[in-house]
Structure 1
């Protein structure tokens, strides 16, 4: 039995539910992007799920029955995701989980609500998924507000470090997908609350635009912070073009997504240095077994994992806990078990679902901030505290 799952597995094996005992395996559905533009994130999901299944089944599965995942590929498209959801519902699986992109997960959440089937979201961040939410949709990962909020925590800490007024003005560039817009909305909201000024906000189409006209306009505004919300390829293009046009700022901040991936550093090269990014989990979080899980995920992937793999891991151990406690595998009983979830010691943090701040069935977990230093992600801000030195960003001419 792996040490990192001991608290969870003790509770799991003590459960009295007997629904699983007559089955050869207990199957749950996972909708993710195995192909298409988000396939990199689907690969991270598969790594986390593999590690979690190893742990859960080594400890007895769901009341002595192995847990099995049925994958459906959404091909990074909404219509394929809805077809996948219908396929899994027709198989009468007790729980379905997914997906990566908020633009895909929002329609999925609406579909499962109409079907009155429990749906567990473990990566998509758009606030609208659980605010206002529905009785049938649960989310264990942080909503998009948290992606902006943790970076404003960094901004506040830098103002404390350098003196009030060091950071005051912000420009925002973001894609026009549901997640990116939701984070940018949070930037506007938090900036107004905390006395920052958003000088300009610019969205762009998902087609891989030339950002230089926007960046040159931003350059004329002389902002303190450049806040970016983009997926993988766009995050790399943004930083390379920011360096090209010589847009200087005291802080470059990425709202997770593409900026939190190892490929961001590889693709951006030296331009990635000093960039801050929100992330939802790192090996340095103060949860039991984080370093061990990071090592295992790295071995599975053959490279540094992103937080998306840890989220998928958390989804599987949550599913095993829920199905072990459910009175039956009927949708209503699984929903009741989800509502009663109380897992205080997971590697992803304490998992339970509650209603707060307009969210419904939402786990309440803080985000984390990293800074790229010499081509490596360094965790700098966790649970409201600076945990490593935050380096000043030099002008491009001084690098």
Structure 2
């Protein structure tokens, strides 16, 4: 491990706070609802840590920076937080933003536990400084592809916007589906209108349309357009990236937003800790917490255990990733090296394919697990 250019956070016994930097999308064009859920989980865990005595008697403090889904803004925030002496970095929802943050954290020697971003290549080269809780995209999207095949869908259209994340997802789907008899049809949403997409689906005889696009635009008008075309009544609409997870989806689409399968990173049953945390998060958010909120809570829980054991020296924190063994809200968290992944990875986070029940859109149906 190289010597970090920034000095590690100093060890102190005077009761001053141990600070963790938190990257969260809180303004547009970031997914604000996801950011609020992530921050709620982070903040609840900080409160629980402090109620239990903090870090060796020192309070834990969250220093929050809004990324607004901007990679450059995130990289600048990492620079600032490193200079402020935070012991570690947490958070982020958007994969491309998390990649920028991870790259900068690696260069600065700042431990970063990524909460909720799935892009496989968070850093170009293997790093000791970064670990991740969410499953890599290659695992989750292959599980989603298995779900599609298992439900009889082999001609899959993907309506995609230009993005490293969406391009990576398309490649994963094609590499997994093609050897199993599937076909992936790419529809470029920088060139097609929702009406044109409908005609493409008919022409290519697609049985499923996957939304590899942002929300609310163009996801909402695209769903409405397809739902209202009688020619496409049997076409499955899917959203592997998880757009229907949040209440805003139902607010925007109503009944049209149901029966759209997406990936969610929750187990069939939460741990006892998860059940307690879920109840408190529901009260704070005034709605059911998403898996992103649980990821936030688990992030701080892991970092607190590491800081209690290792102190606030950044190098010791990063060296401790392979020794982590912490009970979280969704299972026991341990990190390992996963082939093809450049960061320390929780190898077995839960993965589900779920949708909103058409009869009760505020309820979820588990369709597939992996």
TM-score, structure 2 normalization: 0.88
CA distance in 2, matches of 1:274, 1:367: 18
Determine the structure 1 residue equivalent to 2:28.
36
**SS of structure 1 residue aligned to 2:62:** strand
How much does 1:219 deviate?
Answer: 2.2
Does 286-295 or 109-118 show the bigger shift? 286-295
1:362 equivalent in alignment to 2:345:
yes
**Within 5 A, what are the aligned runs for 1:200-215?**
200-205=185-190, 210-215=193-198
Give the superposition deviation at 1:90.
0.5
> d(CA) in 1 for partners of 2:163 and 2:264?
19
Shift of 1:71: 0.6
Match for residue 136 of structure 1 among 129, 138, 142: 129
Report if aligned partners of 1:102, 1:178 keep a CA contact under 8 Å in 2: no
Unaligned runs of 5+ in 1: 1-17, 159-165, 385-399
Deviations 1:24-62 (A, max 9, x none): 221110011122222222211121112212222222222
How far is the alpha carbon of 1:156 from its aligned partner?
Answer: 4.5
Equivalent residue, structure 2, for 1:63? 56
Structure 1 residues 31 and 286: alpha-carbon distance in aligned structure 2, compared to 1, 3 A threshold? closer
1:178 paired to 2:161: no
- Cα distance in 2 between the residues matched to 1:103 and 1:21: 38
Kindly state the Cα deviation for residue 315 of structure 1 after the two structures are TM-superposed: 0.7
Q: CA deviation at 1:91?
A: 0.9
* Secondary structure of 2:206 counterpart: coil
> What SS does structure 2 have at the residue aligned with 1:232?
coil
- Assess, with a 3 A threshold, how the Cα gap between structure 1 residues 341 and 222 changes in structure 2: closer, same or farther: same
Q: Work out whether residues 232 and 259 of structure 1, in 8 Å CA contact, stay in contact via their aligned partners in 2.
A: no
Corresponding residue of 1:391: none
1:225 to 208, 213, 230: 208
Aligned match of 1:111: 104
* Pairing partner for 1:98 from 91, 104, 128: 91
Separation in 2, partners of 1:24, 1:250: 58
Deviations 1:325-345 (A, max 9, x none): 11x4222111012232112x3
Question: What is the DSSP-based 3-state SS (H/G/I as helix, E as strand, rest coil) of the residue aligned with 1:129?
Answer: coil
Residue 269 of structure 1 pairs with residue 254 of structure 2: yes
Cα distance change of structure 1 residues 237 and 144 upon mapping to structure 2, 3 Å threshold:
farther
Does structure 1 conserve the Cα–Cα contact (< 8 Å) formed by 2:90 and 2:114? yes
Give the Cα separation in 1 of the matches to 2:341 and 2:288: 32
How far did residue 383 of structure 1 move? Answer: 4.2
Q: Residue 334 of structure 2: which of 352, 355, 367 is its match?
A: 352
**What's 2:298 paired with?**
314
| Closer/same/farther in 2, CA of residues 203 and 313 from structure 1, 3 Å limit | farther
Give the length in aligned residue pairs: 354
**Preserved contact between residue 138 and residue 353 of structure 1 (Cα < 8 Å):** yes
Determine the C-alpha separation between the residues in 1 that align with 2:115 and 2:364: 24
C-alpha change, 1:379 and 1:286, in structure 2 (3 Å) is farther
Deviation digits for residues 223-261 of structure 1 (CA, Å, limit 9, x no counterpart):
222222233313323211211334334532211332222
Deviation at 1:216, TM superposition (A): 1.9
Question: What is the distance in 1 between the residues matched to 2:182 and 2:100?
Answer: 34
Q: Retained in 2: the 8 A contact 1:279–1:369? A: yes
**RMSD over aligned Cα, in angstroms?**
2.4
In structure 2, the residue matched to 1:260 is 245
How far apart are the structure 1 equivalents of 2:309 and 2:204? 56
Residue 126, structure 1, aligned to residue 119, structure 2: yes
Change (3 A) 1:257 1:136: same
Q: Distance in 1 between matches of 2:153 and 2:368?
A: 20
Cα shift at 1:377: 3.7
Q: Secondary structure at the match of 2:332?
A: strand
Q: Do the aligned partners of 1:325 and 1:337 also contact (CA within 8 Å) in 2?
A: no
Matched with 1:187 is 173
Q: CA deviation at 1:146?
A: 3.0
Query: Does residue 16 of structure 2 align to residue 24 of structure 1?
Result: yes
Give 5+ residue unaligned stretches, structure 2.
1-9
Cα deviation 1:66-122 (Å, max 9, x = unaligned): 211011122332222122111101012110123121221112111111112211111
